[in-house]
Structure 1
Amino acid sequence: MKRISLTFSIATLSLAILLTSCNPSPSSEKSEGDGSKKLVVGVTMLSMQNEFIVNVNDEMTKKAQEAGIELITVDAERSALKQVEQVESFIAQKVDAIIMNPCEVEASSPAVAKALAAKIPIINVNSETSAKPSAFVGSDDVESARIAMKYIAERLGGKGNIVMMDGYMGQAAQLKREQGAREILKQYPNIKLLANQTGEWDRAKAMSLMENWIQSFGPQINAVFAHNDEMGLGAVKALTDAGMKDKVIVVSIDAIPDALQAVKKGTLDATVFQNAEQQGSKAIDTAIKAAKGQPYEKQTLVPFQLVTKDNLSKFLK
């Protein structure tokens, strides 16, 4: 009886191994028509309530469809903690590559370390972390603020008072745009920074902040520099309601459609074009190459451009 039992056990084990080999793991179930595995890329975005970020994501989605890869896109809702958890989930799902639009320079960095430890390439798009990812695709945020502040300084004739609306505190764009703005201000000792405070990239919060500054400083304000268009447009609304817009220069960054229309109307004096389409497209290109083990650029910088009424037609669609 013992010999029969042993024979049965071996036969059962052999059958189990055969059945297991016929059932692919979750990571290999999706395949192309030619039998090759379909690439899966996990994407975590800073906030899908931000129009520029949505534009970057839309281009990534379009590019991914053209390339025949699957995107798993999630919204970090401005939470670095949530973003790290989302990357941990992508790692557990064994995605082929990760694209992260970081919430914060420091607090989102553990996500980079975790992905690299799992040997999954991770590409930062639009914003940076202190931890070095596999690649970065974006623009030089210091330069964007230099362009904006230089324009303001020249419009003011090198003399006047400004207020500055910061982005989400601790995010790379906020830190670098403040750095660039202050670099230019050092060159113009007769321009005074009356106040700077975060508007959290948000139009409504920026409008409220501008209303407070109008109460505090009134006609002393000669110009507003907002780290993004959403906040710039919030400032424009508050100044218009207070009957002050004609006397105050407002410049912001991103060149989203609403901002371009505001430049056309003359309510927003200028914006700085940041190319969402190129950032999104190049992020996908980089992720595909990294996932396939092909050579790729470790850093891709897309240039900024000043947009005024003079060259607006180049940017209107």
Structure 2
Amino acid sequence: MKNIFIFLTVICLFSCNSSKKSDEKKLKIGATMLSMQNEFIVNIADEMQKKADELGAELIIVDAERSPLKQIEQVESFIAQKVDVIIMNPIEFEASSPAVTKALATKIPIINVNSATSATPTAFVGSNDVESARIAMKFIADKLGGKGNMVMIHGLMGQAAQLQREEGAKEVLKQYPDIKLIAQQTGEWDRAKSMDLMQNWIQSYGDKINAVFAHNDEMGLGAVKALQAAGQKDKVLVISVDAIKDALASVQKGELNATVFQNANQQGAGAIETAVKIAKKQPFEKEVLIPFELVTKENVGGYLK
């Protein structure tokens, strides 16, 4: 009887210690996202949650609501909570940078996902936004035969994606002197604002516009809606970036002429995988770049789920 009691006590102690060790090993990751009103960002966040659940990590996701100040405060809150790793989806290239500096000063690793900051984080997981614009602009140049007028709808000014997509677009434009950029303005990544902006351009330029490059699909779809209302969509090319569900459906219908696929799933999963490797002191890549892909009516079927 005494031996059985000792045996059960040992089993209990072993299980309690194992359980305690298991609890201690659970990693805590804090993530601050640009805006949970943006479909593409939500797709990244959903994939982050799925991967965190799969790897047994606790993930706290907060919405910075397009405010760099709020984003910095959220990072400060994660620092106070002593999370193991912070993931940031930066709102602005410069204005979100202090968050990176603050995290690194407290020895908490910070990963930028999808967008960059001027301050260098522990790691970056995303895509080369310059390349997305090169793909879009080469599509426009080919379809226009190297000649025509275009307008460009920018993302939120000062954000890395906006800066880099502008850079890529203007780099290609230099190769095609007969394609004129006759107007450019921000649509702030927003469908309704871009629809209003496009309506204003239609009133100003009439049928002089041959193509639209929108920095994301929300804005591209806004432009399509404005052109349809004006009866001009058949005469104007529209291409945008991200390949969200609405954009893929629009490409399939022949409304949006093309979109540039950006892999939200790989970005989200990659951010969590990198965070876990860093926390466990395992080797990790400081920069994970996921390629963009052109999606047209001819190949859209492969991207629809």
Q: After superposition, what is the alpha-carbon deviation per residue over 1:25-80, rounded to whole angstroms, capped at 9, x for unaligned? A: xxxxxx77735331100000000111000000000011111111111111001111
- Which residue does the alignment assign to 1:149? 137
Which residue, out of 125, 128, 143, partners 1:137?
125
Question: CA separation in 2, counterparts of 1:135 and 1:160?
Answer: 41
Secondary structure at 2:246's aligned position in 1? helix
Does the alignment pair 1:296 with 2:278? no
Describe the superposition over 1:116-136 as per-residue Cα deviations: whole angstroms up to 9, x where unpaired.
011011000000000000000
Kept in 2: contact 1:32–1:38 (CA 8 A): no
Aligned equivalent of 1:256:
244
Q: Choose the corresponding residue for 1:238, options 212, 226, 240.
A: 226
- For the pair 1:316 / 2:299, whether they are aligned, the reply is no
**Are 2:206 and 1:218 equivalent residues in the alignment?**
yes
Structure 2 counterpart of 1:18: none
1:93 equivalent among 68, 76, 81: 81
Q: Which amino acid aligns with 1:229?
A: D
- Please say if 1:282 is aligned against 2:264: no
Residue type of the alignment partner of 2:227: L
In 1, Cα distance between equivalents of 2:24 and 2:68:
35
User: Which residues of 2 match residues 1-317 of structure 1 at below 5 A?
Assistant: 34-317=22-305
Runs of 4+ in 1 over 4 A off after TM superposition: none
Partner-residue secondary structure (3-state), 2:25: coil
Aligned length: 287
TM-score (norm 1): 0.89
- Counterpart residue identity of residue 167, structure 1: G
Q: CA RMSD in A?
A: 0.9
Query: How far did residue 268 of structure 1 move?
Result: 0.4
> For the residues of structure 1 that align with 2:221 and 2:140, how far apart are their CA atoms?
16
Q: Deviations over 1:160-185 (max 9, x none)?
A: 00000000000000000000000010
Deviations 1:172-202 (A, max 9, x none): 0000000000001000000000100000000
Unaligned stretches of 5+ in structure 2? 1-18
Counterpart amino acid of residue 85 in structure 2: A
Name the SS of the counterpart of 2:206 in structure 1.
helix
Counterpart CA distance in 2 for 1:75 and 1:118 is: 22
Q: Deviations over 1:202-245 (max 9, x none)?
A: 00000000000001001000000000000000000000000000
2:184 maps to a residue whose letter is N
Q: Is the 1:254–1:274 Cα contact (8 Å) retained in structure 2?
A: yes
Distance 2:157 2:79 in 1: 28
Distance in 1, matches of 2:275 and 2:217, equals 28
One-letter amino acid of the counterpart of residue 213, structure 1 = W
Structure 1 CA distance for aligned equivalents of residues 283 and 69 of structure 2: 31
Q: Secondary structure of 1:127's partner?
A: coil
- Mind listing any 5+ residue stretches in structure 1 that lack a counterpart? 1-30
